[in-house]
Amino acid sequence: MIPAAHPIIGDEERAAVDRVMRSGMLAQGPEVAAFENEFASIVDGLHCVAVNSGTSALHLSFLAAGIGAGDEVIVPSFSFAATANAVALAGATPVFADVEPDFFCLDPAAVEAAITPRTRAIMPVHLYGHPADLPTLAAIAEKHDLLLFEDAAQAHAASFDGKPVGAWGIAGSFSFYPTKNMTAGEGGMVTTPDEEVARRLRLLRNQGMEKRYANEIVGFNTRMTDLHAAIGRVQLGKLAGWTETRQKNAAFLNEAITEVVTPPTAPGAVHVFHQYTVRIEGHDRDAFAAELASRGVGSGVYYPTPIHRLPSFELQLDLPATEQVAAQCLSLPVHPALGQDELETIADAVNAVARAGS
């Protein structure tokens, strides 16, 4: 079976962990500081604050920017639950807006229609590694005096009009979960142009302390360990090469797959293909995936249930494009460990299953 995801861990990552183990300093220390400095290179030199997960990155970014009770944050419902959980955990209310079915990201017109007197922020998700329409969303945020956050958990080094994701608003959040484009085992990073927000993030992740035992505010322990940072540093060095391979794999699949809707890239966007997601029209998507599996091709559905309909939120909303893509989306393997023969197998299987009319 060709797996849908394949984390790549090499000897350099093992050596880096061993180096930290031998140093005897395991918790947040010099490796985390170095990882933050190095990560700044992919976000135009912004402040970077490492934490223990992408979810913590999102949660703390809202708290650090002063989002809380009574505030509304506009997010897509077509995302991983952490997107909306982070808003709710900050005490604010996620307001779900519809997506564009071509790019699977927030529809700017739907965002504008969702603005109320309580709206404080907009948070697009760069789903599957395709940047949301950041120029338009940034203009809407400016026009209505709203903060722009980015859920860039799936989009390391993606960009729009030459500007990297994570650098468009008050804060961007990245994840280093094992299946993401680069991993630290677990981990997250907040990027921000605002020095005061960066300072509050550093306080929030460490019990409100900058100076030991001089706790200034009530904070969490959401620190990244030096073990994780050491893995992340090695992976960051490999990110550009892996991204190029993902893009080449996607370009091949876009050419070779003719029988289902392949993913387009918006003009001005650099897509980093965390996932390669097709839309299955005129077939039952789950039966299609089962047929692919019987031909040795793994796939994934991200995400089968829009967040607003999950038991954790249970809202009655009319989001037609969200419902459409949740029913049709199917992510095929695109990871950098694929060989040419496997890419051909994937494309041939997709075309054959579509023609057979599963």
Ligand X SMILES: *Cc1c(COP(=O)(O)O)cnc(C)c1O
Residue where the block lists tokens 């739907």: 110
Nearest to 348 by CA among 258, 245, 247, 251: 258
Measured from the CB atom, is 56 or 247 closer to ligand X? 56
Q: Are 127 and 158 in contact (CB under 8 A)?
A: no
Measured from the CB atom, is 192 or 331 closer to ligand X? 331
Q: How far apart are CA 134 and CA 140, in angstroms?
A: 10
Rg (CA), the chain: 20
219: which residues sit within 8 A by CB, 6+ positions away? Answer: 203, 204, 205, 206, 207, 208, 209
Q: Minimum CB separation from ligand X for residue 321, in Å?
A: 17
Measured from the CB atom, is 180 or 285 closer to ligand X? 180
Q: Minimum CB separation from ligand X for residue 183, in Å?
A: 9
Measured from each CB, the residue nearest to ligand X is 54
Q: Minimum CB separation from ligand X for residue 291, in Å?
A: 27
Measured from the CB atom, is 127 or 343 closer to ligand X? 127
Q: Minimum CB separation from ligand X for residue 217, in Å?
A: 23
Would you call 331 helix, strand, or coil by DSSP?
strand
Q: Minimum CB separation from ligand X for residue 3, in Å?
A: 18
Q: Minimum CB separation from ligand X for residue 331, in Å?
A: 12
Measured from the CB atom, is 94 or 188 closer to ligand X? 188
Each as own residue / partner, the long-range contacts of residues 315-323 (CB below 8 Å, 24 or more positions apart, any chain) are 315/96, 317/77, 317/96, 319/77, 319/78, 319/96, 319/97, 319/98, 319/99, 320/98, 321/98, 321/99, 321/100, 321/101, 321/107, 322/76, 322/77, 322/78, 322/96, 322/98, 322/99
Measured from the CB atom, is 97 or 354 closer to ligand X? 97
Measured from the CB atom, is 82 or 167 closer to ligand X? 82
Q: Minimum CB separation from ligand X for residue 125, in Å?
A: 5
Give Cα 349 to chain centroid, integer Å. 28
Q: Minimum CB separation from ligand X for residue 248, in Å?
A: 23
Rounded to 10°, the helix 340-356/285-294 angle is 130
Measured from the CB atom, is 288 or 302 closer to ligand X? 302
157 burial type by CB count under 10 A (0-12 exposed, 13-18 middle, 19+ buried): buried
Q: Could you list the residues that contact ligand X (CB under 6 A)? A: 53-55, 79-80, 82-83, 125, 151, 153-154, 175, 177, 188
Q: Helix H segments across 169-225? A: 195-205
